């Protein structure tokens, strides 16, 4: 019989598992609290469980931790772990400390099938989905290792926010994502507020609708372009779910969301999407003045401008701080709350979109990407990018 990984279960799943062992629900709550709140993986040390149960668990179940391949700590306190997920695949997780919060950036897949032009994960191709246990294990590891390291008092949490902004497209791994989110939110688990757990997506429209039903959390949508032609090139998924459909899905999401706005992410690429004219088109799109099907409809939102983190194979350049400021000024003048993301962990390649892991390219995505790159009418292509 194969060994069951308890990190694969949300509380309901664990209750069902305990029931299959003839145990009552409150045992599942105790077990869940030991694993997630106290970071315990050794059943022998779960002293308030009956010895007979502990012995049965020891034979049948485990808390499957991820093997750490490397850990880097940045001069600004950012920590990046590279975890082995087997078969030559690795995923990255990043902890970003700030004065008022601790944010963990979590991966959902080894590689990514969406293949965005400016994303180093996308350039690797897709290897496989992570299981719920592998998503949760990133939080389990970070929370409990950092708690011990920082000498946190009992019950004190280090991680207050989770963003699904590591490697992969979380809404293309929906079945594993939802129990992981529920474990993050559960008061017996990590007890995170819905407002402080963010799913970031490149725009998988049907799954945005399902998330609203199954587990509404804060939503971030990676926009990157105000018109379909350019977005088709930057985020290939746009060909399947174009902007009008995507923004309508955002509007449908909001009534169930824990926040009354969607965060739009916009990666600033020099000469590609960073001109004041693009900023005006973006305002028109978001405020419903454009020529699209969204005419007359606006999306309550905040805009997050991300300075592009270059990597050589992208052939793209980061917008200058002046271009970012000019773009922000146009959007802000139209009343859209806009922030410019600070780059953190630059010295350890932990910044957004630099998470490369060591995923095997089994899909030929590098080749497809090279072809796609050749077809893109973007001036910055081929420019040597300084790191």
Active site amino acids:
92, 352
Stretch that binds ligand SAH, among 82-90, 146-154, 206-214, 306-314 (CB under 6 A): 306-314
Q: Does 267 bind ligand SAH (CB under 6 A)?
A: yes
Member of 15, 57, 119, 207 binding ligand SAH (CB under 6 A): 119
User: Total residues at the site for ligand SF4 (CB under 6 A)?
Assistant: 11
Q: Indicate left, alpha or beta for 311 from its phi (over 0: left) and psi (-120 to 50: alpha).
A: beta
CB atoms inside a 10 Å sphere around CB 341: 16
* CA 139 – CA 103 distance, rounded (Å): 10
Q: Does 227 bind ligand SAH (CB under 6 A)?
A: no
Member of 78, 124, 138, 222 binding ligand SAH (CB under 6 A): 222
Handedness of CA 347, 350, 356, 357 (dihedral sign): positive
Q: Does 270 bind ligand SAH (CB under 6 A)?
A: no
Stretch that binds ligand SAH, among 11-19, 147-155, 195-203, 357-365 (CB under 6 A): 195-203
Name which of ligand SAH, ligand SF4, none residue 115 binds, using a CB cut-off of 5 to 8 Å depending on partner kind.
ligand SF4
* Residue of 207, 201, 191 whose CA lies nearest to 265: 201
Smallest distance from the beta carbon of 166 to ligand SF4, in angstroms? 8
Show Cβ contacts of residue 133 under 8 Å, excluding neighbours closer than 6 positions.
5, 6, 7, 8, 64
Q: Does 168 bind ligand SF4 (CB under 6 A)?
A: yes
**Near ligand SF4 in 221-280, by CB under 6 A:** 222
Q: Does 201 bind ligand SAH (CB under 6 A)?
A: yes
Smallest distance from the beta carbon of 104 to ligand SF4, in angstroms? 16
- Please report, in angstroms and rounded to a whole number, the separation of the first and last CA atoms in the chain: 50
In 50-131, which ranges are continuous DSSP H helix?
51-60, 120-124
* Residue of 151, 163, 34 whose CA lies nearest to 94: 163
* CA 198 – CA 168 distance, rounded (Å): 14
Q: Are 234 and 224 in contact (CB under 8 A)?
A: yes
Smallest distance from the beta carbon of 367 to ligand SAH, in angstroms? 20
Burial of 29 (0-12, 13-18, 19+ CB in 10 A): middle
- Cβ-based nearer residue to ligand SAH, 60 or 343: 343
Question: Mask of contacts with ligand SF4, 103-132, x by CB under 6 A?
Answer: ---------x-xxx--x-xx----------
Q: Does 378 bind ligand SAH (CB under 6 A)?
A: no
Exposed e or buried b per residue across 57-70, where buried means at least 16 C-beta atoms within 10 angstroms of its C-beta: beeebebbebeeee
Stretch that binds ligand SAH, among 44-52, 140-148, 247-255, 303-311 (CB under 6 A): 303-311
Member of 106, 192, 230, 306 binding ligand SAH (CB under 6 A): 306
Q: Does 307 bind ligand SF4 (CB under 6 A)?
A: no
- Can you give the binding site for ligand SF4, defined by CB under 6 A? 112, 114-116, 119, 121-122, 168-169, 202, 222
């Amino acid at each position: 019989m194969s060994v069951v990984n308890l990190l694969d279960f949300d509380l309901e799943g664990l209750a069902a598992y305990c029931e299959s062992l003839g145990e009552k629900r409150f045992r599942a709550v105790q077990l869940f609290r030991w694993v997630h709140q106290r970071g315990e993986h050794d059943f022998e040390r779960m002293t308030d469980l009956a010895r007979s149960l502990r012995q049965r668990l020891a034979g049948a179940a485990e808390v499957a931790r991820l093997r750490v391949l490397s850990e880097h700590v940045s001069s600004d306190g950012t920590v990046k772990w590279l975890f082995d997920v087997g078969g030559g695949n690795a995923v990255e997780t990043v902890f970003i400390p700030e004065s008022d919060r601790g944010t963990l950036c979590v991966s959902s897949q080894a590689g990514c099938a969406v293949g965005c032009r400016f994303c180093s994960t996308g350039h690797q191709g897709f290897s496989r989905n992570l299981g719920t246990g592998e998503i949760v294990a990133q939080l389990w590891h970070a929370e409990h290792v950092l708690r011990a390291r920082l000498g946190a008092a009992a019950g004190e949490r280090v991680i207050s926010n989770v963003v699904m902004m590591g490697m992969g497209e979380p809404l293309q791994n929906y079945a594993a994502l939802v129990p992981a989110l529920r474990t993050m939110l559960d008061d017996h688990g990590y007890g995170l507020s819905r407002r402080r757990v963010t799913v970031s997506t490149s725009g998988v429209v049907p799954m945005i609708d399902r998330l609203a039903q199954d587990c509404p959390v804060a939503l971030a949508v990676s926009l990157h372009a105000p018109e379909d032609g350019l977005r088709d090139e930057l985020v290939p998924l746009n060909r399947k779910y174009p902007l009008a459909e995507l923004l309508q899905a955002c509007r449908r999401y909001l009534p169930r969301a824990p926040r009354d706005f969607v965060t739009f992410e916009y990666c600033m690429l020099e000469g590609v999407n960073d001109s004041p004219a693009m900023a005006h088109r973006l305002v028109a799109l978001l405020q419903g003045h454009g020529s699209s099907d969204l005419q007359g409809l606006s999306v309550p939102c905040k805009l997050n401008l991300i300075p592009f983190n270059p990597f050589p194979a992208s052939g793209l350049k980061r917008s200058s701080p002046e271009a970012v400021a000019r773009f922000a000024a146009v959007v802000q003048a139209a009343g859209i709350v806009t922030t410019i993301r600070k780059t953190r962990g630059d010295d350890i390649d932990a910044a957004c979109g630099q998470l490369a892991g060591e995923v095997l390219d089994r899909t030929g995505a590098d080749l497809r990407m090279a072809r796609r790159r050749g077809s893109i009418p973007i001036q910055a292509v081929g420019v040597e990018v300084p790191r």
